[in-house]
Structure 1
Amino acid sequence: MAVHSTKMDLALAAIHDADLPHPGGELLDCFIRQSVDREQAAAYLLQKCSSDRGKAGPAAFLADWTELILAFISEGVGRVHDRSIVCDITSRDGAKCCISGLDSSLADPLIVVRIFPESPQQLDPPLREMLDAFLSPSLKDVALTAETGNAPENLWLVRKSVAEAFSQGYFILRFQGSKDYRVDINRTGAPTQPPIVNEVRRLRRGSFTDHSGSGMAVPAHSALQVLGRFSQSIRWVLIGREIAQRTKHTSTKFAFPSSRFLASSCTAILTAIWRCVPAAFRVAIYRRLAPLGRYLYGPSCSLHVQRLPFGLYLKRKNLDWHQSLVNEYGALELVRHHTHVTAPRPLDLVSGADDSYLLTSAVSGYHIGLCIDIMSDAELADVARDLQASLVEIRSIPKIVAPTFEITNAVGGACYDHRISAGAVYDEARGDFFGPFENEDDFNNILRCGALPEVVHRGGHRVVFTHGDLNMRNIMVKDGKLSGIVDWENSGWYPEHWDYTKAHFITKRHWRWLRMVDKVSEELGSYEDELATERKLWEYCF
């Protein structure tokens, strides 16, 4: 049994074990992590839950916590229409949005709004006690007695869309002193976030200054500190509302950017013609298409991958990692020919003097990491079932290449895997490629750590075809369903536990995703012992 050294560890474990309907666990997690004193908040949660047996304690605590959060959610933005006040505040704030730094626009004007439209003064004693555990005494006093009228310290100038997004918890102001601040963006709930969220510069810095020189009071930083503590929780409450409003027959629908996917029959013909073009010319075209893609669609979640027009994606790697693209091309061909799993179609692989390029078709949908926050438990269970079925197919792909080696990449060569290279001493001649390995024992030896000679994986596992990098960027979902799996450069034939332990290696803290990974693995095999061995190695090496 794991040893929990702090009240916070114990409280977070209790929240995890309670297995509350989404987003209940995330809300209780916020009570701990967003509090002023995490140990104090954790101790309070544990004390309150200890009197109830089983899951009733966390559920009852969640109900009270949700009620407290609702006291800080405003149904409107508290706009002020008095022309004299608007003129004074606009002059004081320099005619710019205090949060975004943007000027007014015809479609999105600057408006004056109240920071605290309403004050939760009429809280019941249990909620006041909870507020006391969550905030410091000074911030609690601010929360209960904050100015809610049109005093200058309760007013600021913001764009209309920014005011709405702020009231929904998308922006958090972090203060250094009473005037200087940094604007943090809370992206919980993407991709349904308002467009203005993407227009605000990341980690933008600002300062409350009286630009009018009139001596007028600037916005109260203490009130904004209180709201900042509740921002993450407000997002989760609103997400919970969105999920509850959907009927059980309605899936999560996202407005996926439209793109023209090349018809399968035409793709083969066009690709064959294109590959007849000299390599130097194709490389030159790809070098020009990548900046165009960034201009049209913005950067992707990977530095090496760029979305292009016509439903295409381009992956670029330095020549030192050319074999990783060779492997991905080969893996995608295997998946296409041996399974019904939706994956990108490999269209071209070419190298220039410095770089290699892999061109593939796109897979519709969003990375599950962008959507998991707003997916219901039922939707996530559907994705888990679909992913489990996909892995069963993937694991059945026959190994024909390199018959003398048991563990290889998808084309029978050396393995390319960040887990392996992260724990090994770098060898310039070998680079980041290891193997191939004649058997599982040889593979297990490369994972060993000299300082932990007794920590080693057992042998005797089945060796199966493996994606090798199942994380929240590589699982695609659309309308609440699995739509495909991308990024196959780490794939190959590995011990049967590798996809499971790698998923835990890549993502260690997002417990909802990891719980789904555990669910997916239930029908594939029990790999808790292998995960325990891996964790011992991770803790020491990394």
Structure 2
Amino acid sequence: MPLLDFPALPTLLSDSEKTAAGAYHKLLLDKEEEGVLPDNLYIKSTERTRENEAVAMQMARALGLPVHKVYSYGEHHENGRVIGSILMEAMPGEMLDEVHEGMTPEEKETVAAELKHYLGIMRSYSNPWGTTVCSVIGGSLYSTRTCPRIFVPCDDEAAFNTFLHYCCRPTDEGYHGCIPFKEAQRRAHLMDNMPHQIVFTHGDLWSHNILVKDGHITAIIDWETAGWYPEYWEITTPQRWQSPDSFWPKTLKFITDDKYAEEFQCEIALWELSADAIAGF
């Protein structure tokens, strides 16, 4: 089935527009705690929040995903740092990781089926930036599992693979991985021969970033790492710090028919080779 054309991106804001909105957001935040506002509004404001996140949310919502409605994006400065902020509609629900144990088997199946459906929607659109691995707006990406955590666009998956190997140790000196060093190197480079579609990706699809209520997904939140990535990234990234026997890795494997089992083994090797470097960022 041919891929659909991704919707047109909104016009990016000027610096003056960001500053004005940021000042307004800060005024609202100074009056409330934790970003929760009256009139069913919410503000997310962090050092990592950037316009790409707001646009990613707008695009995801345009595709029909359950995502906060964005009203404005702004920036202000604190102690020499740029603080981004998003004024959005508040969404009902509780974090999936906090309520999963108390859900019925039928509710768990429903949530898994809904998540599979939403991922299918995201993967049914072509990358407007061609083969480039980049943010939703075509710029730099932010990820908690790369070093550096902010990195420039990669022309294609091959360039992205090269970037991922940037922080891998070149020798076994000081290596303490569970996989023998030479085997880890061999296994990590197997990804070079596994071509993938570059798809619209949340990038941090942990269970705490999914809100549920009455056995249904009400929102997918925290799109700060969103962008265009190889298709396996969405599934393997959340498994890095979790036991393979915990419910979330099992859920991700289930909704994709464990399609990325080989990629996950490559990822494990890559993580062991670059563990010290990534931990330092």
Shared fold, TM over 0.5: yes
The reply to whether residue 365 of structure 1 matches residue 93 of structure 2 is yes
Of 192, 197, 200, which aligns to 1:462? 197
Change (3 A) 1:352 1:344: same
Q: Which has the larger radius of gyration?
A: 1
Name the counterpart of 2:25.
Answer: 286
Question: What secondary structure, in the 3-state scheme, does the structure 1 residue paired with 2:58 have?
Answer: helix
Q: Distance in 2 between matches of 1:508 and 1:538?
A: 15
Question: How far has the Cα of 1:351 moved from its partner?
Answer: 1.5
The reply to whether residue 329 of structure 1 matches residue 57 of structure 2 is no
Question: How far has the Cα of 1:509 moved from its partner?
Answer: 6.3
The reply to whether residue 419 of structure 1 matches residue 164 of structure 2 is no
The reply to whether residue 493 of structure 1 matches residue 228 of structure 2 is yes
Q: Distance in 2 between matches of 1:534 and 1:291?
A: 43
1:446 is aligned with what amino acid?
F
Change (3 A) 1:396 1:310: same
Residue by residue, what CA displacement relative to the aligned partner does 1:509-535 show, whole Å, maximum 9, x if unpaired?
67122211211122xx61001111111
Question: What secondary structure, in the 3-state scheme, does the structure 1 residue paired with 2:77 have?
Answer: coil
TM-score between both structures, scaled by the size of structure 1:
0.41
Change (3 A) 1:453 1:510: closer
Name the counterpart of 2:173.
Answer: none
Between 1 and 2, higher relative CO (CA 8 Å, sep ≥ 6) is seen in 2
The reply to whether residue 474 of structure 1 matches residue 202 of structure 2 is no
Question: How far has the Cα of 1:390 moved from its partner?
Answer: 0.5
Contact preservation (8 Å) 2:132, 2:157: yes
Matches within 5 A, 1:99-138: none
Of 152, 169, 174, which aligns to 1:450? 169
1:473 is aligned with what amino acid?
H
Change (3 A) 1:291 1:352: closer
Of 256, 268, 272, which aligns to 1:539? 272
Question: How far has the Cα of 1:373 moved from its partner?
Answer: 1.4
Q: Distance in 1 between matches of 2:32 and 2:105?
A: 35
Question: What secondary structure, in the 3-state scheme, does the structure 1 residue paired with 2:206 have?
Answer: coil
Contact preservation (8 Å) 1:363, 1:486: no
Name the counterpart of 2:104.
Answer: 376
Question: How far has the Cα of 1:331 moved from its partner?
Answer: 0.9
Q: Percent identity?
A: 27
TM-score between both structures, scaled by the size of structure 2:
0.77
Question: How far has the Cα of 1:307 moved from its partner?
Answer: 2.6
Question: What secondary structure, in the 3-state scheme, does the structure 1 residue paired with 2:121 have?
Answer: helix
Name the counterpart of 2:37.
Answer: 308
Q: Distance in 2 between matches of 1:308 and 1:470?
A: 26
Contact preservation (8 Å) 1:317, 1:356: yes
The reply to whether residue 349 of structure 1 matches residue 66 of structure 2 is no
Q: Distance in 2 between matches of 1:328 and 1:469?
A: 12
Point out where structure 1 has 5 or more consecutive residues left out of the alignment. Answer: 1-274, 300-305, 427-431
Matches within 5 A, 1:73-472: 282-294=21-33, 299=34, 306-318=35-47, 321=48, 324-337=49-62, 339-354=63-78, 355-400=83-128, 402-403=129-130, 405-420=131-146, 424=147, 426=148, 432-448=149-165, 449-451=168-170, 453-454=185-186, 455-456=188-189, 457-458=191-192, 459-472=194-207
Name the counterpart of 1:483.
Answer: 218
Question: How far has the Cα of 1:363 moved from its partner?
Answer: 2.1
Question: How many residues align structurally?
Answer: 239
Question: What secondary structure, in the 3-state scheme, does the structure 2 residue paired with 1:352 have?
Answer: strand
RMSD across aligned C-alpha pairs, in angstroms? 2.4
Name the counterpart of 2:252.
Answer: 517
Question: How far has the Cα of 1:398 moved from its partner?
Answer: 3.1
Contact preservation (8 Å) 2:21, 2:72: no
Question: How far has the Cα of 1:540 moved from its partner?
Answer: 4.0
Contact preservation (8 Å) 1:293, 1:309: no
Residue by residue, what CA displacement relative to the aligned partner does 1:238-263 show, whole Å, maximum 9, x if unpaired?
xxxxxxxxxxxxxxxxxxxxxxxxxx
Contact preservation (8 Å) 2:185, 2:273: no
Question: What secondary structure, in the 3-state scheme, does the structure 2 residue paired with 1:353 have?
Answer: strand
2:272 is aligned with what amino acid?
E
Change (3 A) 1:369 1:312: same
